[in-house]
Amino acid sequence: MTGIALVGAAECDLGKTGRSVLELQVQAVTRALADAGLTLADVDGLATNAVGRFSTTELADQVGLRPAWVDSSFVGGSAFEAYVARAAQAITAGQASVVVVSFASNQRSAKSRSLGGLLEDHLPAAQFETPYAPLYPLSYYAMAAQAYLHRYGLGREHLAHVAVSARDWALRNPKAFRYGAGPLTVDDVLGSDMVSSPLTVADCCLVTDGGGAVVVTSLERARDLAKPAVRLLGYGECTDHTNMSTLDDVLDVGAARAGRAAFARAGLTPADVDVAQVYDSFTITPLLSLEALGLAEPGQAGVLAALGEFGPGGSRPLNTAGGGLSYCHPGQYGVLLLVEAVRQLRGECGDRQVAGAEVALAHGTGGILSHHATVLLGVDR
Amino acid sequence: MTPETDTYLPPSDELSAPWWDATREHRLLLQQCTACGHRQHHPRYVCTRCGATDLGWTPSAGNGVVDTFTVVHRAPRAGVETPYLVARVRLDEGPVLLTNLVEVEPRDDAVSIGTRVTLSWRDLPDGRALPVFAPEGDA
Ligand SMILES: [Zn+2]
């Protein structure tokens, strides 16, 4: 348990916006503050990245703030779950009182995404990986998927069901990129163009603009605001390998360590989670994460996917906004996991609302299973 | 099977120079800790097992197994012809390498996790060579 709460949550414009990163950032920040019933004048802490080399100073300058605390750790799409943890610590320690955690990207409009990733000549991968032409990060997840299916005797259809469930949720979310696209079938996924086996185009997340923000403050202050507070119950993280050959076992996923720390801090067990938002960069990613987090037994996440348990009406609602696979994936998706978790706990999700959701898990994954961060949230009782 | 048309030339540095020099003679080196004997790849400035910074080199016999693999169907850069096999190969000495599998059809049903593989070389235009692997007994 912590004495911290999330009090605001919002998306910036999503999809293909034609807008700049700074404009989308300002949308995210101001909308989340409006959702919280706060203004920029209340903010004294800022956490973001990917604005520029000096992300927090750029954003602070843009919105006219001189924050007492900032964080721009660059660890991949899981950064935002980690920022919430750091914000909680800063608020508890008295260094900040209201922190905005934000992200925005215009990668679809700007066509800035490359299959090969970004080459940094001075790092080991340029010598020991790039010559072999893996797609980055896709081929690493593909190799993890191959190992997962082999170890547990599962097939590509088990992966495909993850994309099918994500689409089913997206059909209930008007903001989802695939909202009007109609249902996806297992055969659709299996028949899509192979990119890096066993993953097809339909096993891979969208490439969209988008982002969002959440506002973090003390539970005490949260209880004076108009909307119900969402309590921060626990958090944990794990930094892991960044080279494709480093890890001895590709299925030894660092989410296990992040999850253990988060559940211990919260005094909860995986069975207490009512709704899970788990980073789905690829269909394999949430399967590996769910098992590592203890939300499924080893080898069983794929089986649960095939039974439809992750979709609407299933026993383990997962990625209820439609996920990175069918809702929005702006490059670093982690902030949107938090936005949806907050909305589910407030009962704001309309057609996709999970009835009676009291505990939500948001779990981010960065890089090539390189960084893992878990946040547990709950209704304020 | 990344083709001859790929013009990517890997950089090298003071740390990796002996490793790359050995490839000119088609010898695969592994870094070995002089304190604890731990073998590791890629080369680092420190032993990841014991923290010692005095590291040497030891030859690999070049035999191992496919740890996992993927058939890549879209190239990350111009000049790379698809499809081709990218794999993690676990050497009998312990360390894992990222590599390409060669002398085998780039199809999912042509290779399996656990397949035994042996070292082969793809020569680079500057005289160095890239260690790649082929199924055992196929060469
Ligand atoms: Zn050592």
Q: What digits encode the pLDDT tens for the residues A236-268?
A: 999 999 999 999 999 999 999 999 999 999 999
Percent of chain A residues topping a pLDDT of 90? 97
Give the residue from chain B lying closest to A200, CA to CA: B73
pLDDT of residue A128: 98
Domain count within chain B: 2
**Which residue bears the tokens 């696979």?**
A325
B5 inside domain: no
pLDDT of residue A200: 98
pLDDT of residue A265: 98
Q: In 3-state terms, what secondary structure has residue A289?
A: helix
Flag if A244 and B88 touch (Cβ within 8 Å). Answer: yes
Q: Is A327 a catalytic residue?
A: yes
Q: In 3-state terms, what secondary structure has residue A241?
A: coil
Domain shared by B87 and B67, yes or no: yes
Angle, in degrees to the nearest 10, between helices A156-170 and A284-293: 90
Q: Which domain holds residue A342?
A: 4-112+206-379
Domain shared by B98 and B35, yes or no: no
- CB atoms under 10 Å from CB of A131, counted, come to 23
Please report the ipTM that was assigned to this predicted complex: 0.97
Exposure pattern of A227-257 as b/e (b: 16+ CB <10 Å)?
A: ebbbbbbbbbbbbbbbbbbbbeebbebbbbb
Min Cα–Cα distance to chain B from A45, Å: 37
pLDDT of residue B139: 46
CA torsion through residues A82, A83, A84, A88, sign: positive
Does B35 reach chain A within 8 Å, measured CB to CB? no
Does B80 reach chain A within 8 Å, measured CB to CB? yes
A56-110 pLDDT, tens digit per residue, is 999 999 999 999 999 999 999 999 999 999 999 999 999 999 999 999 999 999 9
Q: Which domain holds residue B44?
A: 12-59
Task: Report how far ligand 1's centroid is from the alpha carbon of B38 (Å).
Answer: 5
A167-212 pLDDT, tens digit per residue, is 999 999 999 999 999 999 999 999 999 999 999 999 999 999 999 9
Per residue of chain B (139 residues), what is the pLDDT tens digit? 555 689 999 999 999 999 999 999 999 999 999 999 999 999 999 999 999 999 999 999 999 999 999 999 999 999 999 999 999 999 999 999 999 999 999 999 999 999 999 999 999 999 999 999 999 985 4
A111-169 pLDDT, tens digit per residue, is 988 888 888 999 999 999 999 999 999 999 999 999 999 999 999 999 999 999 999 99
Domain shared by B100 and B114, yes or no: yes
Q: What does the mean pLDDT of chain B come to?
A: 95
pLDDT of residue B2: 53
Q: Can you tell me the distance from the alpha carbon of B132 to that of B11, in angstroms, rounded to the nearest whole number?
A: 18
Query: Cβ(A213)–Cβ(A27) under 8 Å?
Result: no
Q: Which residues surround ligand 1, an ion (CB under 5 A)?
A: B 33, 35-36, 38, 47, 49-50, 52
Does B104 reach chain A within 8 Å, measured CB to CB? no
Domain shared by B44 and B104, yes or no: no
Min Cα–Cα distance to chain B from A104, Å: 25
CATH of the domain at A327: 3.40.47.10
Domain shared by B68 and B106, yes or no: yes
Q: What does the mean pLDDT of chain A come to?
A: 97
Selected for mutation to probe chain B from A132, A148, A201 (highest B CB count within 10 Å) is A132
